[in-house]
Amino acid sequence: MNQDPILAALARIEAKQDMCLENQQIMEEGLQKIRTETRRISAATGAAAGGVAGAVSGGLVAAGVALIKAKLGL
């Protein structure tokens, strides 16, 4: 049985579309992993930066209070 050339071409197109959909699904899964990892890293980095900023500002406030006490003779 000879297959109609048009049907053969349509079958090839359908196979390529299936392959593209599979590749797209793989890419989506990879992007989701990247998004998850990025959120995790940014949360950790943000917490560390917040801790450092808090320590620095707390040190500045303590130094300011000590300076004021020294100026006032307390």
pLDDT beyond 60 at 1: no
Q: Which structure tokens are listed for 68?
A: 């004021």
- Count up the domains in the chain and report the number: 1
Host domain of residue 54: 5-72
At 11-60, the pLDDT tens digits run 999 999 999 999 999 999 999 998 888 888 877 777 677 777 777 777 77
CA distances from 54 to 18, 50, 65, 71 (A): 54, 6, 16, 26
pLDDT at 66: 81
CA distances from 63 to 43, 57, 67, 68, 74 (A): 30, 10, 6, 9, 14
> pTM, whole model, 2 decimals?
0.49
